Amino acid sequence: MLPTAAHRPSHRTALRPAPQAAVARLGVAGRGVLAWLAAGLVATGLVAAAHAQPASSTEPSAAVGSDAWREQMSLWLRQQAQTQVQGAQQPSPLRVDVEVGSLDSRLRLAPCQRVEPYLPSGTRLWGRARIGLRCTQGPVAWNVFLPIYVRVWGPGWVLRQPLAGGETLQPHHAEAAEVDWTLQRQPVLVRQQDWVGQQLVRGLAAGQVLYAGSVRAPQVFASGAQVRLRVQGEGFTIVATGEALGDGHVGESVRVRLPSKRVVLGTVVDATTVDVAL
């Protein structure tokens, strides 16, 4: 069971319908879900449900925690997650799956005639997350958090065979597949040109997904190589020679020691050139 938390406000809290401003913040989908969430809360098998009339006669009544409620909540959360994904302007169509967790079995919650779901401020429906459930019509205006897990599936590439770190990737090394984008913080590599010709940062097993951090530009010179340092400005170019103090990968930084023993940091351009910014 995933962890959860509960907060019980004072018994002196006034009973009142859901504030209109709070309802408005939920959006159309959120207001729709209020109808089928307006039922008694079932904390666990140790707490009896408190039955209530549904907010709308067109929506089914389902007790919180029941199979019907879980199905409805999953649908609503998928809609919310899909909205977030579209708002982030992801480059590819994604598929969303939601696993609805359970309330902590140690909770003892007062009966409630109206339960509102909401997304806590800043909630990102991606991987492990939580939503809020609050009682707005009952003897105690409680608030609890329900754990959820959101998986977002999209296109990616998985290795056909185990490969060692430093190996240069070729088209036959990986195949296209639908992968879970939420498993890593790093972006999934979607386009084949993002990894073909790149080198693996470390060894990977067959079936592993290629992420942005899995590959790097190929090495074009080794530590100790003599390279040309280039400083470019408006109307001029200065060139010097130095010794690379690390392996050079195109687009990455490397330290170079000048004949004067001074060490500068530059960006690898090709097998012989390192650019130094002014």
CATH of the domain at 234: 2.30.30.760
pLDDT digits (tens, 9 = 90+) for 126-139: 999 999 988 888 88
| Mean pLDDT, rounded, for 105-128 | 85
Domains held by the chain: number: 3
Residue ending a domain, among 118, 151, 184, is 151
Look at residue 101 in the predicted model and tell me its pLDDT.
87
Q: Which of 20-24, 98-102, 253-257 has the lowest mean pLDDT?
A: 20-24
Structure-model confidence comparison of residues 26 and 211, the more confident one = 211
Do 227 and 115 share a domain, yes or no?
no
| Mean pLDDT, rounded, for 166-171 | 93
Residue ending a domain, among 132, 151, 170, is 151
Do 146 and 11 share a domain, yes or no?
yes
Do 10 and 111 share a domain, yes or no?
yes
The Cβ of residue 253 has, within 10 Å, a number of other Cβ atoms equal to 12
Smallest CA-to-CA distance from 45 within 59, 58, 63, 33 is with 63
| Mean pLDDT, rounded, for 84-91 | 68
Whether residue 229 lies inside any domain: the answer is yes
pLDDT bracket for residue 92 (50, 70, 90): low
Do 82 and 173 share a domain, yes or no?
no
Q: Which residue segment(s) compose the domain that 183 sits in?
A: 160-216
Do 23 and 146 share a domain, yes or no?
yes
Alpha-carbon gap, residue 55 to 36, rounded angstroms: 7
Whether residue 33 lies inside any domain: the answer is yes
Q: The dihedral of CA 77, 80, 86, 89: what is its sign?
A: negative
Do 12 and 114 share a domain, yes or no?
yes
Look at residue 62 in the predicted model and tell me its pLDDT.
56
Do 116 and 174 share a domain, yes or no?
no
Alpha-carbon gap, residue 76 to 99, rounded angstroms: 12
Whether residue 1 lies inside any domain: the answer is no
pLDDT bracket for residue 253 (50, 70, 90): very high
- Mean pLDDT score across all residues of the chain: 77
pLDDT digits (tens, 9 = 90+) for 45-71: 222 233 322 332 223 335 667 788 788
Do 197 and 224 share a domain, yes or no?
no
Q: State if pTM tops 0.85.
A: no
The answer to whether 227 and 274 have CB atoms below 8 angstroms apart is yes
Do 208 and 224 share a domain, yes or no?
no
Do 29 and 124 share a domain, yes or no?
yes
Whether residue 166 lies inside any domain: the answer is yes
Please enumerate in sequence order all residues whose Cβ is within 8 A of that of 132, keeping only pairs 6 or more positions apart, or say none: 117, 118, 119, 120, 143, 144, 145, 146
Residue ending a domain, among 169, 198, 216, is 216
Do 10 and 99 share a domain, yes or no?
yes
Structure-model confidence comparison of residues 232 and 21, the more confident one = 232
Look at residue 91 in the predicted model and tell me its pLDDT.
58
Look at residue 35 in the predicted model and tell me its pLDDT.
33
Do 141 and 246 share a domain, yes or no?
no
